[in-house]
Chains A and B, each alone.
Chain A
Amino acid sequence: MRSGLVRTRAAIIAAMFAGASAAPVTGQSELDSWNAAAMHHAMTAIRPSMARIETVGGTATGGGGRPFTGTVVDDQGHLLTALFNLRHEPEAIIVSLADGRRVPARIVATDTSRQLIMLRIESDSALKPAVALPARDVRPGQTAIAVGMALDPGQPGMTAGIISATGRIEGRALQTDARVSPDNYGGPLVDLDGKVLGILVPLAPGSGDPGAGADWYDSGIGFAVPLDPRRLDSMRDGKSLRPGLHGMTFKEEAGFASAAKVSAVRKDSPASRADLAPGDVVRAVNGVEIRLLTELRQELGPLYAGDRVEISIERGGVRSERILELFENVGRAGGAD
C-alpha cells in the first residue's frame, strides 16, 4: 500500500545518500585559512621580531637606499636579512625595531649558501626573537604568510599563500606561492601562529649570486630558508658560511635520470684527496643511499665548507667508503666578515 508515496520517499532518501557523497561539502570557506582574524593572530605573534632596516651610502649598483626587512633571531641583538638587501655594502646600517627605537647595526657574518646575512645591534633591552618551526614539521599545503617591513614603516606588510614544496634548491629552501619580493626579502615566512618557517630570500637553481632569483619576484614562486640553530651559532661567532665544494664533476648522460657517476675530479680538491677517480659511482652520502645524480646533489646541497661527508663509492663492482672535508668556495660573493 501507499506504493506511490513509498516509492517517492525511497527516491528521496536514496537521493539524499547520493547527495551526501556527491555534493562537495567542502565549499569555498572550508578551505580558506586566510581570514582576517587568522592573519591578525599570526601578525601579532611575529610583529615584535620584525625590523625595518635602512642604509646610508654604498654602491648604487647593489640597489641600495631602499628600506628592507630583518628578522630578530635571538635576544642578544642578532637579526637575519637577505644578502640581496646588502649587496651595495653600505657605510651605515640603521635598524628600526618594533618598539620604535632606531639603532645602528653591524654585519656579523654571511651565509652565501642560503643567501643570508647576520646583523648585530647594540641594545640594552632584550629583543623578542622569532620562534622557528622545525623544518621537519613543514608540509605542502600549509598556510604560509610572508611578512615584510619595506612598504610601511609602521606596520608589517603581508602576502599569503601556501607551502608549495619543501627541499628546494638542492635541499636548502622551502617554496611558497605567497608573493615574495624585495618588499619582504629578509623577512620571515610564518605559519598561522606566526612561527617562522624560514627567512625569505631570492634563490635560483644553480646560481650562487645573491641577486639571482629576484626576477621571479611576485611570480608565485618564492623561497624561504629554514633556520638551523647550529648554523646560527657559528654565524653569531662571526664565522661566515660558504657552500661546500667537493671537486667532483658529473656528466648528465641521461638527463634527469643520470647516475651519480664521476666524470672528472678537480686537482687538490676534497675528492682528489679522498682518491676519487672518473668512473666512480657515488652510492651513498652520510648513510643515505643514492641512485641518481639529482639525489646526490640534494644531499650535498645543504652542506657547508668545512663539513665532513662520508660517501660510499662503487668502483669496479666494489664499494668503499671515503671521507670528504668540503672546501670553501673561495672567491665567491659575500659581505664583510
Chain B
Amino acid sequence: MIHGNSERQREKRYLVAKFLAARLAVTCWLASRFIISVANGQPTMIEETLPKVAKVFGSGGLHRLESWQTAVATSGEGMFVTAWSYVLDAGVTVVLHDGRRFEAQVLGHHPRLEIALLKIDIIGQPHFRLDSGTSVTPGLPVLAFSNLYGVATGNEAVSVQHGIVSATIDVATQRGPRASGYSGPAVIVDAIISNPGAAGGALTDRQGNFLGLIGRESTSSRSGLWLNYAIPAAQVDQAVKEILSGRASESLTGGARPSEPVTLELLGLLMVPAVASPTPPWIEQVIAGSPADRAGLRSDDLILEVNGTPSATRERVLEQLAMIDRDRKFTLTIKREGEFIPIEVSLNR
C-alpha cells in the first residue's frame, strides 16, 4: 500500500471501484435471472405460474360442502375458467394471488364438461394459453396448482404438487352412490389432485404450459377409487369457445316471456324436490301417459340442457321452461347411465 495519495486520487479510485462494483452487481443480477431460468428452471416457472391461478369463493358451507374452489386465468382481461359446481351458485368472488378480491360474473357454463367461465374486471392479468398444444403422454412430468383444502386465503398463493401423467383415457366418474360425475376424456396423474377445493385448478407441464383443468372431486365408476384427473386443455378450450359463442349469451339475455309457457304439470314431470340449494335437476317421477312419458323421459334422468342451453339447477330448468311457449316443440338433453341423450318433447299429441 502506498501512502500519501491525494484526496482526489483516492476519491477517483473509490468512484472507479464503486462503478465496477455496481456494474458487476448488474451483471450478476442479469446472470442470476439467466441461471434461474437455465439451471433452476422450475421455481421461476412456478413463481410465474402461481399468479395465473386464483381462489374462488362462493356458495356452499352447508352439508359439509366446502364453499371454495380454484380457477385459472385464460385472458388478460379477467376471464377465468373453473369447474362448474354449486360453489358458483351465488355471489362468486375471485381472489388473486396478491389478495385482490373481485366479484365475478358467471358468463356461462358447459354442463357436459363441467366447466364454467368467470369474468372479473381487471386488465393485465397473467394468464394461460388454453391452446398450447403440448402433447400429453404417460410419464410426462406435471405440476398441479390448486387451492386444495382451502389452504390458501387472502394474499397467499395456491398450493403446488408434483407428479407425472399416469394415463390419458376416457373416464366415467361418480359423486356418491347416486350422482354421476364427469364423463369424458381425462388426463390421469399420480399427484393427489382429487381433493376438496382443488377443482378448477391448473395442470401444467414443467414449463408451465396448461395441460388441463382439475376436475371435481369424484371416484372412478369403474374402480371406486378417488380419481386424480384433469379435463384436457383441448376440451377446456373447446368448452370456452362454446360458452363464448351464442349459446352462453342466449342463456344470459333470454327472450320475451310467452303468455302460456310450458310447466312441469303440463309435461307430467315431478322433479326431485328442492331440499338443498342447489338441487340438481333430477327427474323424480314421470306421470304415465303424459307428454314427458310419451317423449321417453324417465325417473332418475338428469336434465343437462333445455334447447341446447345448460340447465345447472332445478330452478334453472323451471326458468327455462317458463320461456318456452307451450305450442312449441323443445329438446331436453338428459344424462342417463352416463350417456347424453337429446329428447324431443311436445305438449301436443
Contacts and interface: CB of A to CB of B under 8 A. Distances in A.
- A and B touching (Cβ–Cβ under 8 A): yes
Interface of A: 1-5, 7-8, 12, 25, 27-30, 32, 34-36, 39-40, 43, 66, 150-152, 155-161, 178-179, 181-183, 217-218
B167 A217 contact: no
Given A151-B188, A155-B167, A27 B21 contact: no
B10 A159 contact: no
Nearest to A67: B222
Grouping DSSP codes into helix (H, G, I), strand (E, B) and loop, the A interface class, with mixed when no group exceeds half, is loop
Q: How large is the interface on B (under 10, 10 to 19, 20 to 34, 35 or more residues)?
A: 35 or more
B199 to A, nearest CB: 18
Nearest to B13: A4
B204 to A, nearest CB: 14
Contact of B43 (A28, A30, A34, A156): A28
A295 B24 CA distance: 60
B42 A29 contact: yes
Nearest 5 Cβ contacts at the A-B interface:
A39-B139, A159-B190, A27-B40, A28-B42, A157-B167
A67 B265 CA distance: 46
Contacts of B192: 179, 218
A43 B13 contact: no
A157 B164 CA distance: 10
A230 B168 CA distance: 38
A5 B17 contact: yes
A49 B152 CA distance: 44
Point out which of A12, A32, A34, A178 has the most chain B C-beta atoms below 10 A from its C-beta. A34
A159 B226 CA distance: 15
A152 B139 CA distance: 14
Contact of A152 (B13, B24, B167): B167
Contacts of B228: 218
A34 B141 contact: yes
A36 B141 contact: yes
A36 B209 CA distance: 15
Contacts of A151: 166-167, 169, 188
Contacts of A27: 39-40, 42-43
Contacts, number: 100
B17 A4 contact: yes
A25 B38 CA distance: 12
Nearest to A148: B166
A2 B17 CA distance: 10
Given A3-B1, A158-B166, A28 B40 contact: yes
A178 B190 contact: yes
12 contacts: A5-B16, A27-B39, A35-B141, A36-B140, A40-B139, A43-B139, A151-B166, A151-B167, A151-B169, A155-B138, A157-B167, A157-B188
A12 B17 contact: no
Contact of B138 (A32, A158, A181): A158
A39 B163 CA distance: 12
Grouping DSSP codes into helix (H, G, I), strand (E, B) and loop, the B interface class, with mixed when no group exceeds half, is mixed
A151 to B, nearest CB: 4
A10 to B, nearest CB: 11
A312 to B, nearest CB: 46
B256 interface: no
Given A1-B1, A183-B223, A39 B138 contact: yes
Contacts of A7: 17
Nearest to A24: B40
A39 B205 CA distance: 14
Contacts of B164: 34, 39, 158-160
B223 A182 contact: yes
Contacts of A66: 222-223
A161 B138 CA distance: 14
A32 B137 CA distance: 18
B172 to A, nearest CB: 13
Contacts of B39: 25, 27, 29-30
B37 to A, nearest CB: 11
A228 B262 CA distance: 72
A36 B135 CA distance: 11
Interface string B84-108: 0000000000000000000000000
B133 to A, nearest CB: 16
B225 A181 contact: yes
Contacts of A35: 141
A179 B138 contact: no
A28 B41 contact: yes
Contact of B2 (A1, A25, A36, A182): A1
Contacts of A159: 163-164, 166, 190
Contacts of A178: 190
A19 B24 CA distance: 15
B20 interface: yes
Contact of B225 (A152, A155, A218): A218
A182 B14 CA distance: 71
Contacts of B10: 4
B40 A32 contact: no
B193 to A, nearest CB: 11
Point out which of A27, A151, A182 has the most chain B C-beta atoms below 10 A from its C-beta. A151
B222 A160 contact: no
Contacts of A3: 1, 13
B17 A8 contact: yes
B132 to A, nearest CB: 16
Contacts of B226: 218
Contacts of A43: 138-139
